Amino acid sequence: LYLTGVSIIAGFFGQYFVWKLVAALGRASIIIFILSSVIFASALTMGMAANHLLLPSA
């Protein structure tokens, strides 16, 4: 329940700051760059976790 509240508040703040950034820069393409960065970081993290689980440490 705590993390649900934190994620809702973070979502509202994130949406507000991205909206302000788009308004300041005048370019909506910044949303694509933010989204691609999050997807890249997620894929990198999942790859590192899978590598840690599948390969035994020597």
Structurally, the chain folds into a number of domains equal to: 1
- The one-letter code for the residue type at 30 is I
Q: Write down the pLDDT at residue 53.
A: 83
Question: Are 23 and 15 within 8 A, CB to CB?
Answer: no
- pLDDT for 58: 53
Q: Which residues of 12-27 are buried (b: 16+ CB within 10 A; e: fewer)?
A: eeeeeeeeeeeeeeee
pLDDT at 32: 94
Which domain, by its residues, includes 13? Answer: 2-54
Q: Which parts of the chain register pLDDT below 50?
A: none
pLDDT at res. 11: 96
pLDDT score at 51: 87
